[in-house]
Structure 1
Amino acid sequence: MDIQDQIVLVTGGARGLGLAITRTLLHQGARVVVNYYTSEQSALQLSQEFPEQVFSYKADVTKLEEVNIMFQKAKQHFGHAITSVVNNALLNFQFNGDARPKVETLNWQNMQQQIESAVKATLNTTQAALEDMKKDHFGRIINIGTNLVQNPVVPYHDYTAAKAALLAFTRTTAQDLGQYGINVNMLSGGLLRKTDASCATPDFVFDLIAQSTPLKEVTTPEQFADAVLLFLSPWSRAVTGQNLIVDGGLVKG
């Protein structure tokens, strides 16, 4: 299915990386369900700017009932079920190495919050999408990860552990759902210049990262969003269970 024929849910799609993904999809002609929780003004602006393509909906994606209702409302709005899901929503998080929870003070609540934000939310959207994806024998699920799993240069224990669990879930669901024509993949980024999550990062850190990449630059949200198109496009129809790192070549494999 071509991108312009898809209805794509982007969780956390009204701010940061999610907003860049939303705009990239809109410019390709896709219809987008913009899920938000706190970014109401930005979501409504997208609806006004792209009235034929955007359906904005507030939902806490860690709550299955709210997710199910969002899928139903989107189907009613567009007259067709959601075909593709980008699991991008992130619990409020700041990439600030000085303020991160150290292993000596890390508590299970920190871990559980990140796991619910990454894994529980993805489980909820996946389950909500399955009936219609199976019926259409088509589905694309893209989970957003991090290159910190491969290279934990700054040990954000809670965030990285949750994304590692999400990578495992990506691969197991790919194995389980491939028989129904559903492809499940992960895109893992590094520190992006800049998003809400990376705004607390000092400029010198970005400069160090840029010098360490083959491309000599820090990946932007817009550049990362371009890679989403790859996994949504027909060109990746034989690709599933994969983790593509999109960080300018900083981390290999």
Structure 2
Amino acid sequence: MLLSEQWVLVTGGARGLGAAITRALVREGASVVVNYRNSETSALALKDEFGDRVLPLRADVTDAAAVVRLFDKAQTRTGQPIVSVVNNALADFQFDGDARPKIDSIAWARFQQQLDGSLKGALNTIQTAVTGMRSRGFGRIVNVGTNLFQNPVVPYHDYTAAKAALLSLTRTAAHDLGPDGITVNMVSGGLLRTTDASAATPEFVFELIASSTPVRRVTTPEEFADAVLFFLSPWSRAVTGQNLIVDGGLVKG
């Protein structure tokens, strides 16, 4: 299915990386269901900018019932089931290495918060989307990951563990859903310059990462978003269960 034929759900699609993904999709002809939890102003601004190509809908993706209502509203408004999902929503988190809790003091509640946001949220959208995807014989699921579990240059224990679990779900879901024409992949970035979550990162960290990459710069949200589009397009039709690292070559494999 061409991007121009798709309504794509982007969770957390109103700001930061999510907004960059939304803009990239609209640029390439897709229409976007912009899911948000608290960022109503940003979501409505995207609606004002792109008109009928954007449908803002509020839902907490960690709430399974709210996700069902989200999908029902989207289908009612668009006249078709959502067959493409980008699981981008991030539980409240800041990439600030100086403020992160260390392993000897971090509370389980922080792990639970990140697991709920990354893993439970993705599970809710996948389970809700599957019926519509099967009805069309087509589905594209893209989960947003991180390169930190391969290269924990800053050990964010809770965030990294949750994203590692999401990679596992990506691969097991790909196995289950492949026979239905549904692919499940992950795109993993490093630190992006700049999103709301990375705004607290000290400048020297950006400089350190840039100097360690072959391209000598930090990846932007827009560059990351372009890689997400590959997994939603016909060009990736034979690719599933994969994790594409988009970080300027910092991490290999």
**TM-score, structure 1 as length reference:** 0.99
Aligned to 1:165: 165
Give the CA deviation at 1:222.
0.3
Alignment of 1:151-190 (within 5 A): 151-190=151-190
- Structure 1 residues 201-212: aligned runs within 5 Å: 201-212=201-212
- Structure 1 residue 66: Cα displacement: 0.5
Partner of 2:148: 148
CA distance in 2, matches of 1:195, 1:189: 12
Stretch moving more, 191-200 or 46-55: 46-55
- Whole-angstrom CA distance in 2 between matches of 1:96 and 1:143: 23
Determine the C-alpha separation between the residues in 1 that align with 2:163 and 2:130.
Answer: 22
- Tell me by how many angstroms 1:88 deviates: 0.2
Count of matched residue positions in the alignment of Structure 1 and Structure 2 = 253
Q: Which letter maps to 2:70?
A: M
Distance 2:102 2:209 in 1: 23
Residues of 2 paired with 1:82 and 1:132: CA distance?
7
Give per-residue Cα distances to partners, 1:95-130, cap 9 Å, x unaligned.
111111111111111110000000000000001101
Give structure 1 regions of 4+ aligned residues with deviation exceeding 6 angstroms: none
Matches within 5 A, 1:70-149: 70-149=70-149
Cα offset, 1:10, TM superposition: 0.2
Q: Map Cα deviations across residues 52-83 of structure 1 (whole Å, 9 max, x no partner).
A: 21110110000011100000100011111111
The residue type equivalent to 2:113 in the other structure is Q
Q: Which residue identity does 1:16 align to in structure 2?
A: G
Q: Shift in Å at residue 200 of structure 1? A: 0.6
**Structure 1 counterpart SS, 2:124:** helix
Residue 20 of structure 1 is matched in structure 2 by 20
Deviation, structure 1 residue 49: 1.7
- Using the alignment, how far apart are the partners of 2:40 and 2:23 within structure 1? 16
Q: Which residue of 2 aligns with 1:64?
A: 64
C-alpha distance in 1 between matches for 2:154 and 2:48? 40
Q: CA RMSD in A?
A: 0.6
Matches of 1:64 and 1:91, distance apart in 2: 16
Task: Quote the Cα distance in structure 2 between the aligned partners of 1:27 and 1:200.
Answer: 29
Is there any run of 5+ residues in structure 2 with no aligned partner, and where? none
Deviation, 1:29, is: 1.1
Q: Distance in 2 between matches of 1:208 and 1:123?
A: 35
In 1: Cα distance, 2:252 partner to 2:33 partner: 33
| CA deviation map 1:125-171 (0-9, x unaligned) | 00110101011110000000000011111110000000000000000
SS at match of 2:144: strand
Residue 208 of structure 1 deviates from its aligned partner by 1.1
| 1:127 partner amino acid | Q
Give the deviation of 1:235 after TM superposition.
0.7
Q: Which amino acid aligns with 2:44?
A: L
The amino acid of 1:192's aligned partner reads L
Distance 1:204 1:49 in 2: 35
The 5 Å alignment of 1:22-61 reads 22-61=22-61
Aligned partners of 1:87, 1:101: CA distance in 2, in Å? Answer: 26
What is the CA distance between 1:45 and its match in structure 2?
1.1
Provide TM-score, normalisation by structure 2.
0.99
Deviation for aligned residue 1:47:
1.2
Following the alignment from structure 1 to structure 2, what is the Cα–Cα distance between the partners of residues 101 and 180? 42
What does residue range 228-243 of structure 1 map to in structure 2 within 5 Å? 228-243=228-243
Return the alpha-carbon distance in structure 2 between the equivalents of residues 153 and 208 of structure 1: 10
Report the equivalent of 2:192: 192
2:52 counterpart SS class: coil
